[in-house]
Structure 1
Amino acid sequence: MSSDKPLGFQWQFAAGAIAGVSEILVMYPLDVVKSRLQLQSGKATGADAYTGMVDCFQKIVRNEGFSRLYRGITAPILMEAPKRATKFAANDEWGKIYRKAFGAEKMTQPLSILTGATAGATESFVVVPFELVKLRLQSKESAGQYKGALDVVSKVIKNEGVLALYNGLESTMWRHILWNAGYFGCIFQVRGLLPKAETKSSQISNDIIAGTIGGTVGTILNTPMDVVKSRIQNTPKVPGQIPKYNWAWPACGTVIKEEGFGALYKGFLPKVLRLGPGGGILLGTFIYF
């Protein structure tokens, strides 16, 4: 993100926070559906098994109530402000570092990808505990064990140890590296292809288009890592036992072996419906503020 007079860090942070909360309030039910589909193994059968996005949505509402689609929203709302703020602020700061390091006056496509990937790695350290809490509350199997976000934190620390809050850090880092690289790399490319914006409203429109395309490409790239991250974080740590899903790339191999390559894209439709338009909302809101 660059301009003739770039925003100060505090304004980058505030704009990213507002953009993130705006996006999650609109798109959160899709995230719940996405998580349910990702956590369902290929062997799931019976009346309660989900056959797809619409079926999952209907069964959650019918069997658990509409409010279940917002179960655990406290954690992501608390997470989204620092997460999205960190995303844009880190992208801006890393962009300055890389432009200086490579002697580039302006951003280029390769630098945009490198900057986005590094910002994604930075962002992952902020979001992992929030993601774990959110996922435990979204899961059909484990949600009944917890009363709310603070109860998840308390029980995870008590039963699994404080470091368990960072369970899935590696897979989360890969997920954010891939999404941010695709997102910010596409934004740079698409902005260059669109007609030059002459007004503030046309600039926002262009950025919504660029952000939507970027969000879609980022989702295509990172969905496999999101699937294994969900399974890693939903598996409680037991002393003396090696979890079935532990490290990102071996977990991908386990999923492919047991369920086929397509299983790495479980939950893709609700995920892309959220993060495609969500990427546009995110960028458009950020630019507006």
Structure 2
Amino acid sequence: MSEPNTMTSTYAETSAQLRQPSHGVAQLLQKLSSGAIAGITGTMIIYPLDIVKTRLQNQRPDARGVLPYRNGWHCLKSIVRYEGFRGVYRGLVPNLIGITPEKAIKLAVNDYTREWFAERLQVAETHLPLHYGMAAGATAGLCQVIATNPMEIVKIQMQVAGTRPAHVPKPTAWEVVRQLGLRGLYRGTPATLLRDVPFSFLFFPSHAVLKTFFEDPETGVTPFWAVFLSGVTAAFFAAGAVTPADVVKTRLQVTSTAGGVRQCFQDIVRNEGPGALFKGWLPRCCIVAPLFGIALLTYEVQQRWFRRSE
């Protein structure tokens, strides 16, 4: 009869190790590196959907009132047909360069902040009160914009460049950076903040709550498949909720003549109708959901490995 108790005790010790708060420069650097690897993994898998989303959000009707793309599938086929297979990966390299610090900051800051709150409240990080989880997520969204805005504006400029006539040369990432300059790289930052802070505010606590439904009652550990499923579900709904801010951000980053956030928002509603604020919402959700599911799964695998090897 003692063997089951010993096994339960071992599981409990493992669970406690996994939930133990870890602070200090070394731990933060480890979280940053894990977030970077997670971001790169997810981005390389879902990038073709991202370029479809950008094209759909930026498309405008021609003189006859006809849009270039009927839907996401038509957009993807058109890109492959006229630009080749490489066209669906246009802008990938600068995006990977930017996604490394962006995901590193986002995932690490949220994780670190949640652990900081949990330690001071003397509760398990997995059972942190909801409003504290929201505060941690909002903090992560605020910090990540430092890396997000330059990465996204370069990526979007290169993705949209694929719609130019064949005889017009396509710019390289370095040419886009030189043309924009430091100030230009942060064009549309208010819209990026309006998208990323609410997204993180909604996403991270939702993911944490969903994970608790799948926790093993004895060990408190969530299976990896549940980590992925929780990330996909939380990201899908959070991404859909902030789509209007993403559409405005895309317009502002494509052209410098779009004005500010308020003017761009008003122009879209007045000229294209309120529905235009949700252009590309489904491709966006289908991008963000698996991206964060894969990223969080990759991040969780690394975190558990590091904690068990300590």
- Normalised by the length of structure 1, the TM-score is 0.87
Alpha-carbon displacement from aligned partner over 1:221-270 (angstroms, at most 9, x marks no partner):
2111111101101113xxxxxx33422x4422321221122211111121
* Matched AA of 2:135: L
Alpha-carbon displacement from aligned partner over 1:83-103 (angstroms, at most 9, x marks no partner):
1110111113333555578x5
* Matched AA of 1:3: R
In structure 2, what is the equivalent of residue 223 of structure 1?
243
- Which of 171, 183, 189 is equivalent to 1:147? 171
The question of whether the paired residues in 2 share the 8 Å contact of 1:197 and 1:203 is answered with: no
**199-208 vs 75-84, greater mean Cα deviation:** 199-208
Q: Distance in 2 between matches of 1:31 and 1:197?
A: 38
In structure 2, what is the equivalent of residue 205 of structure 1?
225
Q: Distance in 2 between matches of 1:252 and 1:22?
A: 33
Alignment of 1:92 onto 2:111:
yes
Alignment of 1:253 onto 2:266:
yes
Q: Distance in 2 between matches of 1:258 and 1:12?
A: 45
Offset at residue 146 of structure 1 (A): 4.3
Alignment of 1:118 onto 2:139:
yes
The question of whether the paired residues in 2 share the 8 Å contact of 1:75 and 1:149 is answered with: yes
Query: Cα–Cα, structure 1 residues 47 and 198, in superposed 2: closer, same or farther, change >3 Å?
Result: farther
* Matched AA of 2:281: F
In structure 2, what is the equivalent of residue 51 of structure 1?
70
Alignment of 1:267 onto 2:291:
no
Q: Distance in 1 between matches of 2:117 and 2:263?
A: 32
Offset at residue 33 of structure 1 (A): 0.3
Q: Distance in 1 between matches of 2:113 and 2:286?
A: 29
Aligned residue pairs, count = 276
In structure 2, what is the equivalent of residue 3 of structure 1?
19
- Which of 173, 188, 207 is equivalent to 1:168? 188
Offset at residue 4 of structure 1 (A): 1.4
* Matched AA of 1:125: I
Q: Distance in 2 between matches of 1:198 and 1:204?
A: 16
The question of whether the paired residues in 1 share the 8 Å contact of 2:202 and 2:238 is answered with: yes
- Normalised by the length of structure 2, the TM-score is 0.81
Q: Which ranges of structure 2 fall in alignment gaps of 5 or more residues?
A: 1-17, 303-310
The question of whether the paired residues in 1 share the 8 Å contact of 2:215 and 2:222 is answered with: no
Identical amino acids, percent of aligned pairs:
29
The question of whether the paired residues in 1 share the 8 Å contact of 2:59 and 2:67 is answered with: no
Query: Cα–Cα, structure 1 residues 66 and 131, in superposed 2: closer, same or farther, change >3 Å?
Result: same
Q: Distance in 1 between matches of 2:228 and 2:21?
A: 22
Equivalent residues in 2 for 1:6-17, closer than 5 Å: 6=22, 8-17=27-36
In structure 1, what is the equivalent of residue 159 of structure 2?
138
* Matched AA of 1:91: N
Structure 1 residue matching 2:270: 3-state secondary structure: helix
In structure 1, what is the equivalent of residue 212 of structure 2?
192
* Matched AA of 2:130: Q
Q: Which ranges of structure 1 fall in alignment gaps of 5 or more residues?
A: 237-242
Alpha-carbon displacement from aligned partner over 1:95-122 (angstroms, at most 9, x marks no partner):
3555578x56452111111211121011
Alignment of 1:34 onto 2:50:
no
Offset at residue 286 of structure 1 (A): 0.5
Query: Cα–Cα, structure 1 residues 44 and 223, in superposed 2: closer, same or farther, change >3 Å?
Result: farther
The question of whether the paired residues in 2 share the 8 Å contact of 1:136 and 1:152 is answered with: yes
* Matched AA of 2:45: V
Query: Cα–Cα, structure 1 residues 142 and 59, in superposed 2: closer, same or farther, change >3 Å?
Result: closer
Structure 2 residue matching 1:170: 3-state secondary structure: helix
The question of whether the paired residues in 1 share the 8 Å contact of 2:57 and 2:279 is answered with: yes
Q: Distance in 2 between matches of 1:44 and 1:204?
A: 51
RMSD between aligned residues: 2.6
* Matched AA of 2:106: K
In structure 2, what is the equivalent of residue 239 of structure 1?
none
Structure whose alpha-carbon radius of gyration is higher: 2
In structure 2, what is the equivalent of residue 127 of structure 1?
148
Alignment of 1:69 onto 2:69:
no
